[in-house]
Amino acid sequence: MTIPAFAQRDPDARGYYGAYGGRFVPETLVAPVAELEAAYMDARRDPAFIERLQGLLGDYVGRPTPVYEARRLSEALGGARIFLKREDLAHTGAHKINNALGQGLLAQRMGKRRVIAETGAGQHGVATATVCALLGLRCDVYMGAEDMERQRLNVFRMELLGATVRRVDSGAKTLKDAINEAMRDWVANIADSYYLLGSVLGPHPYPLMVREFQSVIGQEARRQIIEATGELPDTIVACVGGGSNAMGIFDAFIGDPDVKLIGVEAGGRGIRSGEHAARFAGGSAGVLQGTHTYVLQDDDGNIELTHSVSAGLDYAAVGPEHAWLHDSHRASYAWIDDDAALAAFQRLGREEGILPALESAHAIAYAITLAPTMRRDQILLVNLSGRGDKDVTSVEKMLRTKGEA
């Protein structure tokens, strides 16, 4: 079992990674966010906190998740050896449980009895509801009406776990709007409530905290790929919405300049305003929901609508550490459109017996284009951030609409 290695790469004292990050919050949240930062900095130095987290990651979450060589897919593509980091095999079916568990333990440590969360694809909501059930905490999850329609199974899963799912009908009725409502709730209920943010977004210390709770992915993957092949991967690919699964696996390899890091955003129906969620392809620097980062916005700074076949990638901003990695050229970012993601969803199922989450299917789709350009002795590691059970009904509807089912 790998212990999360905290305190390795902090932002500056104001929470900035280069030009990105910071803490942009209303006056009513200044003190609570400072309290959260102090509590987290204390917890990350506490061996008892780390030991409890480590124990639950092993006994409850089921870590370490395996690294699996996708031999049939690799052979069919005729290029690099493709390995999958199987976060889909973690309890609740995605990487989200790693962060939810860490923050749930922190909320309990701070004496909070109620947890507020937001969710897009529903996996963070399910993970948060799961952890709250485990720890005996009340749970309220905000979810956009559009995403509730796309992810009905996860809505019911949250309810079965005892959470209250609060429908959001404002704006585009997706993740950005759910975050807005969750933060409004937090402002109104500071005394007893903890806001459990699901990605490397928001005001400092959330980007740091979420990345560190997800860093277990990269620590395991580094050890596992060396055990399997005797060397580090040549390239690592992960999908990027807010970007927590990507930061989780990238983290252990940042100091290895020969390892290429590639984040894959949602190209939707094409890089046109309102048709995608590729912040590096169509965005610019700005502030959204507490942090300075790359944002999809118009010339007047108004946040643009986004679209993706994947609810979890359908968001107008990206984590500030990703923005820093992009500008410093330590990582590169590509995009995959809806059709390619749907094709990859089906192909991985047919060739490897694994149905990926539609989010993860974007990373698989990019790997399908990249692997043939690499040598057969090179290693391509893909973070399979979640399983596709939640998306099967949506995929069926889309394929029927396209006349493919």
Q: What is the pLDDT of residues 133-169, one digit of tens each?
A: 999 999 999 999 999 998 888 999 999 999 999 999 9
Catalytic residue, chosen from 85, 96, 176, 390, is: 96
Quick one: DSSP state of residue 88? Answer: G
User: Looking at this protein, which amino acid is placed at residue 74?
Assistant: S
Tokens coding 110? 């701070």
The pLDDT value recorded for residue 7 is 47
The pTM is what?
Answer: 0.95
Cα dihedral sign, 129-183-358-356 = negative
Marked catalytic residue, from 37, 87, 118, 275: 118
Return the H-helix or E-strand segment holding 142.
Answer: strand 138-144
Task: Using alpha carbons, select from 163, 170, 197, 162 the residue that is nearest to residue 182.
Answer: 197
Closest to 18 (Cα-Cα) out of 391, 371, 330, 314: 330
Q: Which pLDDT score, from 0 to 100, does residue 405 have?
A: 62
Has 96 been annotated as catalytic?
yes
Provide the b/e sequence for 87-117 (b: ≥16 CB within 10 Å): bbbbbbbbbbbbbbbbbbbbbbbeebebbbb
User: What's residue 120's pLDDT?
Assistant: 86
Residues of the chain with pLDDT under 70: 1-8, 405
Q: Which pLDDT value is given to residue 1?
A: 40
User: 72-75 — which CB contacts under 8 Å span 24+ positions?
Assistant: 72/351, 72/352, 73/347, 73/348, 73/351, 73/352, 73/368, 74/371
Active site residue 402: no
Domains within the chain, CATH numbers bracketed: 24-59+96-210 (3.40.50.1100), 63-93+215-401 (3.40.50.1100)
What is the rounded CA–CA span in Å between residue 391 and residue 152? 10
- β-pairing verdict for 331-337 and 193-195: unpaired
pLDDT at 175: 85
The residues with which 288 forms a beta bridge, in sequence order, are: 291
* 118 catalytic residue (yes or no): yes
Interatomic CA distance for residues 138 and 204, integer angstroms: 25
